[in-house]
Chains A and B, each alone.
Chain A
Amino acid sequence: MTLLEVRGLTTAFATGSGDVSAIEEVGFTVAPGEVLGIVGESGSGKSVTALTIMGLLPRPPARVAAGSVRFEGSELIGLSEARMRALRGRGIAMVFQEPMTSLNPVLSIGEQVMETVRAHERTTRAGQRDRAIEMLGRVGIATPERRLDDFPHQLSGGMRQRVMLAIALICRPRLLIADEPTTALDVTIQAQILDLLLDLRAELGMAVIIITHNMGVIAETADRVLVMYAGRIVEQAPVGALFAYPAHPYTRGLLECVPTLETELDRLVAIPGVLPDPARRPPGCRYAPRCPLAIEACTRAIPPLHRVGAEHDAACIRTP
């Protein structure tokens, strides 16, 4: 059984010089309770994928050019704004990267947690308050009944991210999309928030899509991983297989960029080159210009995803 099924999803943006696709033919599934990691450089299409699923991209200029997103069996692409709104926060919720700017500075945190409840349910103020206190306690805010009336500027970054989680989770969504939830936090707080996220997943039985550019975050949290490059999925695999046998040269490149304790290096390893401009992508495999294994055939056609192991796909003609 699948909770979310994305197939052939292509999102284009209208620009002065015609349509530019931010993501192309993205397809994956998420099972209930599963943690799916999406990894890639900035600009690889991770966030656009998330925002397309949520229906949060401004239209125009964005447009879903092809594909389907099915959540619990029903199609989300083309759903009316009212139906989509009812789903957001209740079926699928989202946590954003910047805890410093993702909270409204003029509303108390309690009010902001209660806002989500109010958007979806008719309950009394006292009932909302009790639920907000309960949820804030659950995300690890001490003495939530006292912090309820605090304003965002009185909280640290980690605390704010906890509040963001409380806001996202108060209506018990079946799927949480966390877009770089820990990027803006320092390392110790990062670990705390990730642990909390996994605990809450187990407690509430929800699935999580975690978007990051940090391989360490993926290794700690994900069950399965998608690797995206220049708007396309280049590899998908269970987390163990991905780290043990990375099949796509880009994934290998990403893993080599992670500094380890064993190898002593003077410099950090980086993948040479930059992500191609979406309006001027190279022909064929988009990674070819940066790929150490590229051959002439790589530039002829976009390589399709093909099976390379158990539940393990890669889009590279150089990988058998």
Chain B
Amino acid sequence: MTSAEPTAPGTQLLGRLLRHRQFVTGAALFSIVLLAAILAPVIAPGDPTRIAMRLKFLPPSRDHLFGTDNFGRSLWSRVIWGAQLSVMTGLAVVALNAVFGTLFGALAGYFKRLDNVLMRISDALMAFPAILLAIGITAVLGPSTSDVILALAVVYVPRTARIVRSSVIVIREMEYVQAARACGAGDWRILRRHILPNSMAPLIVQLSFLFAYSVLTEATLSFLGLGAVPPTPTWGNIMAEGRQYMVQAPWIIAIPGVALMLTVLGLNLLGDGLRDVLDPRLRIQP
């Protein structure tokens, strides 16, 4: 009890995360994707939509790292710019979920009167399959990435809200919340200072899985022609185009496929690691 340097709980957590092999692997994989997305203009300066019919179906080589597609476009550029779009979709869905999921979850969990109303609305929204909803929205607004984000947000905010709600309900009954109330703290202060900071762990875990799921769903939808419109490159529409040339030029479909797989794998490992460290009750003993 004579610690000279006060160590915040955060510092300890970071240490435990860095010792978690799955987390580090996942974080490394995801960092590669993240870096590719951020540095896209630097590492892939070529226009991903520039057509050069002379160069079509070139296999991966030193000049064309990932080869070229049926229009002679550089797959390197297309996959890197596709990564940017995937990451942006994921971030947008995660941000919307973090904000609205926390808001609705906290309100439902803390104020018993709101709980029933909010949870019945969420039941209704949860009944929609994300893909079907995206198809519906696209039918009205025309295909674009923002449709995908909107559909994913509408479908996942209720799930995120439920997760926040359930941990708020647990934390609400903690003695330190009662103690804070006994000191004259109001509802808002109790929610903001005592309940929410202590109920974030399951949310963070959920958001990392949600990121993976958003990337995957965005790819699915643009594969089906419901996301960003070609020639804008997305992993999904590159794969959709590559599908026709699977025998002739398998790299067109394989490379974005592998990129997608590694991204989702990385995020899932990262999420598992976060869950093990932040939410030890959920850990499954191997």
List A residues at the B interface (Cβ < 8 Å): 54, 56, 85-90, 93-94, 96, 98, 101-108, 115-116, 119-120, 149-151, 153-156, 159, 164, 167-168, 171
Contacts and interface: CB of A to CB of B under 8 A. Distances in A.
Contact of A115 (B178, B185, B198): B185
B184 A88 contact: yes
Contacts of A120: 184
B182 A56 contact: yes
Interface in B238-254: none
Interface in B166-197: 174-176, 178-186, 189, 193-194, 197
Given A85-B184, A86-B184, A104-B193, 12 more contacts: A56-B182, A85-B185, A89-B184, A93-B182, A102-B178, A104-B176, A104-B197, A107-B197, A115-B185, A149-B6, A168-B183, A171-B183
A167 B182 CA distance: 10
Interface residues of B, number: 23
Contact of A104 (B8, B180, B181, B186): B180
A96 B184 contact: no
A106 B193 CA distance: 9
A93 B175 CA distance: 15
B9 A153 contact: yes
A106 B9 contact: yes
B1 interface: yes
B176 A101 contact: yes
A167 B179 CA distance: 9
B186 A96 contact: no
A171 B182 CA distance: 12
A102 B175 contact: yes
B180 A94 contact: no
Contacts of A102: 175-176, 178-179
A90 B184 CA distance: 8
A181 to B, nearest CB: 12
A115 B7 CA distance: 21
